[in-house]
Amino acid sequence: MQEETDMPTRKILLDEEDIPKQWYNITPDLPKPLPPFIDPETKAPGAGIVPRIFPREILGQEMSQERWINIPDEVREVYRIWRPTPLFRAVGLEKLLETPAKIYYKYEGTSPAGSHKPNTAVPQAFYNLKEGTERLTTETGAGQWGSALAFAAAMFGLKATVYMVRASYDQKPYRKMLMNAFGAQCYASPSEQTASGRKILQEDPDNKGSLGIAISEAVEDALVNEKEANYSIGSVFNHVLLHQTVVGLETQKQMQIVEDYPDVIYGCIGGGSSFSGMFWPFYHDKVSGKAPKKTKFVATEATACPKVTSGEYVYDHGDTARITPLVPMHTLGHDFIPAPIHAGGLRYHGIAPTISLLASEKQLETEAFNQVEVFDAAKLFIRSEGIIPAPEPSHAIKAAID
Amino acid sequence: MQEETDMPTRKILLDEEDIPKQWYNITPDLPKPLPPFIDPETKAPGAGIVPRIFPREILGQEMSQERWINIPDEVREVYRIWRPTPLFRAVGLEKLLETPAKIYYKYEGTSPAGSHKPNTAVPQAFYNLKEGTERLTTETGAGQWGSALAFAAAMFGLKATVYMVRASYDQKPYRKMLMNAFGAQCYASPSEQTASGRKILQEDPDNKGSLGIAISEAVEDALVNEKEANYSIGSVFNHVLLHQTVVGLETQKQMQIVEDYPDVIYGCIGGGSSFSGMFWPFYHDKVSGKAPKKTKFVATEATACPKVTSGEYVYDHGDTARITPLVPMHTLGHDFIPAPIHAGGLRYHGIAPTISLLASEKQLETEAFNQVEVFDAAKLFIRSEGIIPAPEPSHAIKAAID
C-alpha cells in the first residue's frame, strides 16, 4: 500500500446546494448610469422592437436597477445538471512556467452544450415558457449559442429554431446534429424561411451568410410569428450578462475554500457575457469595500476585431440590418467585417454597453492578441493541463501566461 | 429571498482524495481459471508477439493473480484532471418514466477525451515512459480510443501514432483534430506508413479500412520499430479492464453516500472494458460476501454484433490479420463484418475473455437491442436528463428503461 502523498488538489468543487440563489446585476453599481437605447425609427430614446420579441420578465431584468435578482427554482433545478462547475488550480501550467504565482481557471466545459452559454439560455427559456411562448428563435455563428438554446428549450418542452451562418453550417455538421438531438430545427442562413433570407438568396444563391443576416432572420421570424414565437439572444444585453454571474459567484465561494483572492481576472470578450459573468461579482466586492485586494480586470480581444482597444465609443446598431435599437458601445461599426479567424466568438463588431462604460471609466483594461501567439499559449496549456481550451478563452490564457 | 426547497441532488460527487489507490483485478475471483493464450505460430500456449509490443509492467498485470494492484501516484495525479467523475441520479428520467425505482448513471464524459478510455490510456503511457518507450502506436475506429491515447501520451511527453480507420477519418475530422491538438500523428488506415497498409492500397487505392487493418498497421509499426515504439490497446485485454475499475470503485463510494446498493448493473459491451470497469468491483462484493443484495449484471450489445447472445465460445484471434494470439472468447469470427451501425464501439467481433468466462458460467446476463429502439431510448434520456449519451451506452439506457 502506498503512502498518502501531498498532491495539490486540482479541482475545487462545490455542492449543488452552493449554486447561487440570486444573480448579481451590476447596473446600480456602475460609476455612472447607462445611456438609454435609441429607437432607430424615432431617433428618440426607446427600445424599438425589443418589447415585441422578449417576455416581460426578461425586459424587466434588462432595465432593472435591482442589485440582486432571484433565480427561479426551476432554473436552479436545470443548472444542477452541470453546476456548480469546477474551479481548477492550474498546477501543470504553473510548473511548466516555473512561476510562484497561483493560476486558477473556471471550467464551464462540462455543460451539456459544452460552454457557458446555457447559464442564460435556461432562464430565458424558462421565462418564455412561463409567459406562454411556444417557440424560440435565434441565430448562431460557430454554433455554441444555438446548441445551448436548443438544450434549454428541450428542458422546458419548447420548440427552437436556429439560423446558423451558412459557412459554419457547412463546416461544423456536428453542431447542427447536437441541436437536432435536442429537438431544435437548424437552418443554414440565409434561408428560404424568411423574407430577408429569400431576398438575399435570390440575389446571391451561394451567399455564405453572416451573423448580421442570421440575426435579421431570427428577429423577423419572431416578429412575423409574434403570437407563438420570441427571440432569444446569447450576449451583449444586460439580462444575458447578469445570468452569467453564477460563474463569478461560484468562483468567489471556491476562492474562499482555498483562502485566496485574485490579483487579476482575465477573460475574453466577444459580446462580453463570459467575462462579465466572471468579473461582475468581484467588481461588486470592490465597490462595496468587501475586496481584500485591488483586483485588476483585464478583457482580452482578438487583434482581428479590436473593438475596445481600437474602436470608438458611440451609438451603434447591434445587427448589420439595423433592426435593433442603437446602443452606446465601443464598436468598429455595424458593417465591420472581421478576418475569418478561428476565434469565431470574438468576431463581433461591438461589445456590451456595460463593458464599454467600464472601459471608458478606466475600471477595466483591455489587451488584444493575434491568433498565432494565442495558439502558442493554448498549446502550452494543453500539454500541461490536458484540457483543450476553445480559441476564445485561449486569448485570456495568453494574457495570463504573459 | 426564496426558501430553500428540497430538490433532489442530481450529482453525487467525491473529492480528489477519493480517487482509488488500487485497481481491482477479477482474475483470482473468477469461478474457474482463464484458459491460456495460444501462440498462433506454435499452436501451443504462449503469448506470441505480445511481449515484444508491451512494457513488462503491463505484461505482468495482464497475467497477474493479485487481487489489488497499486495505482502509481503519477497516474493518480493525471486522473485528478477529471476524476472522480460524478454519479448522477437520473431524477428527470425517473419522473418521465413515473417509476418508483431509483436510476443512477456514472458519467465519464468529463474526461479530456470525452470517454472512459483515458482511465487505461494514462497508466499505459506511464508504464511505457518508465520503461524507456519513446512512442506509442495504436489503432482507432470512431476515434475515442485514439484521442484518449493521444491525451495520455501528451501528459507524459511521449509521441503517439494513431492509425484511424479511413471511413471514420473522412467522416470525423474533429477527432483527428483532437488527436493533433494533443500532439499525436493520425494516419488514415490503410496508410503508406506500413508494409501491410501499402500492400492493401496497391490492390485497392480506395480501401475504406477496417479495425482489423488498423490493428495490423499499429502492431507492425511497433514491431518494426521495436526499440523505440510499443503498441497500446484500448479494450479486451485484462490489464485494460482492471484499469477501468476506478469507475466501479468510485461508484461504490458514491452509493454509500446515498445509502443505496444496486439491484441491477447495466453496461454496454464492445470489447468489454467499460462494463467490466463498472461491475467487477460489485462482483468482488458478491464473491467475498460483502454485497447486501443479490445484484444482477446485465451486458447489452447490438443485434448487429451479438457476440455473446449469438456467438460461439471458442479460441479466436482478436485481429483480422491473425497476428495476435488466439484467446478464448465469445466470438462471431475474426472475419465477421458487422453492419455499419452508429454504435461503432460495439462493432467488435469478440469480447474480453473474462466476460466470456463469466457469461458461460451464468454470472452475467446479456441482452441485444437494435439501433432504432436504442435511439428512441436515447431520445427519452436527452429530453429528461439534458445529456446526450453516446450510441454505445444508449444500449444500456435502453435496457434500464425496459
Listed in sequence order, the DSSP H helices in B258-324 are 273-287, 307-310
* Residues in A touching B119 (Cβ below 8 Å): none
Which tens digits make up the pLDDT trace of B117-165?
999 999 999 999 999 999 999 999 889 999 999 999 999 999 999 999 9
Nearest-by-Cβ selection for A9 from B16, B78, B110? B16
The domains of chain A are located at 11-22+82-110+241-401
* Residues in A touching B176 (Cβ below 8 Å): none
Is the model more confident about B171 or about B137? B137
Nearest-by-Cβ selection for A382 from B22, B73, B182? B182
ipTM score: 0.90
Q: Look at residue B368 in the predicted model and tell me its pLDDT.
A: 94
* Interface contact flag, A154 B382, Cβ < 8 Å: yes
Residue B312 clears pLDDT 80, i.e. is over it: yes
What distance in Å separates residue A111's CA from the closest CA in chain B?
9
Nearest-by-Cβ selection for A388 from B15, B78, B178? B178
What is the distance between the alpha carbons of residues A396 and A392, in angstroms, rounded to a whole number? 8
Q: Look at residue B5 in the predicted model and tell me its pLDDT.
A: 54
- Per residue, what are the HEC states of chain A? CCCCCCCCCCEECCCHHHCCCEEECCHHHCCCCCCCCECCCCCCECCCCHHHHCCHHHHHHHHCCCCEEECCHHHHHHHCCCCCCCEEECHHHHHHHCCCCCCEEECCCCCCCCCCCHHHHHHHHHHHHHCCCCEEEEEECCCHHHHHHHHHHHHCCCEEEEEEEHHHHHHCHHHHHHHHHCCCEEEEECCCCCHHHHHHHHHCCCCCCCHHHHHHHHHHHHHHCCCCEEECCCCCCHHHHHHCCHHHHHHHHHHHHCCCCCCEEEEECCCCHHHHHHHHHHHHHHHCCCCCCCCEEEEEEECCCCHHHHCEEEEEECCCCCCCCEEEEEECCCCCCCCCCCCHHHCCCCCCHHHHHHHHCCCCEEEEECHHHHHHHHHHHHHHHCCCCCHHHHHHHHHHHC
CB atoms within 10 A of CB B171: 12
Residue B4 clears pLDDT 70, i.e. is over it: no
Nearest to A233 by CA among A313, A148, A302: A148
* Residues in B touching A178 (Cβ below 8 Å): 388
* Residues in B touching A75 (Cβ below 8 Å): none
Q: Look at residue B89 in the predicted model and tell me its pLDDT.
A: 96
Nearest-by-Cβ selection for A11 from B16, B73, B182? B16
Which tens digits make up the pLDDT trace of B328-344?
999 998 888 777 777 77
**CB-defined contacts A:B, below 8 A:** 85
What distance in Å separates residue B16's CA from the closest CA in chain A?
7
Which tens digits make up the pLDDT trace of B220-243?
999 999 999 999 999 999 999 999
* Interface contact flag, A387 B15, Cβ < 8 Å: no
Computed on alpha carbons and rounded to an integer, the radius of gyration of chain A in Å comes to: 21
Distance, CA of A206 to chain centre: 30
Per-residue tens of pLDDT for chain A, all 402 residues = 334 456 778 999 999 999 999 999 999 999 999 999 999 889 999 888 899 999 999 999 999 999 999 999 999 999 999 999 999 999 999 999 999 999 999 999 999 999 999 999 999 999 999 999 999 999 998 899 999 999 999 999 999 999 999 988 998 888 999 999 999 999 999 999 999 999 999 999 999 888 888 999 999 999 999 999 999 999 999 999 999 999 999 999 999 999 999 999 999 999 999 999 999 999 999 999 999 999 999 999 999 999 999 999 999 987 777 778 898 999 998 888 777 777 778 888 899 999 999 999 999 999 999 989 999 999 999 999 999 999 899 999 999 999
* Interface contact flag, A10 B2, Cβ < 8 Å: no
Q: Look at residue A5 in the predicted model and tell me its pLDDT.
A: 54
Which architecture does CATH list for B11-22+82-110+241-401? 3-Layer(aba) Sandwich (3.40)
How high is the mean pLDDT of chain B? 93
Q: Look at residue B149 in the predicted model and tell me its pLDDT.
A: 98
Which tens digits make up the pLDDT trace of B263-297?
999 999 999 999 999 999 999 999 999 999 999 99
Q: Look at residue B334 in the predicted model and tell me its pLDDT.
A: 84
Q: Look at residue B340 in the predicted model and tell me its pLDDT.
A: 76
pTM of structure: 0.93
- Give the contacts of A99 (CB within 8 A, at least 6 positions apart): none
What distance in Å separates residue B139's CA from the closest CA in chain A?
21
* Interface contact flag, B9 A16, Cβ < 8 Å: yes
* Interface contact flag, A70 B174, Cβ < 8 Å: no
Interface of A with B (CB under 8 A): 1-2, 4-5, 7, 9-11, 13, 15-17, 21-22, 70, 73, 76-78, 80-81, 110, 112, 151, 154-155, 174, 178, 181-183, 382-383, 385-388
Which tens digits make up the pLDDT trace of B205-220?
999 888 888 999 999 9
pLDDT band, very low/low/confident/very high, at B71 (cuts 50, 70, 90) = very high
Nearest-by-Cβ selection for A7 from B22, B80, B183? B80
Nearest-by-Cβ selection for A10 from B21, B80, B182? B80
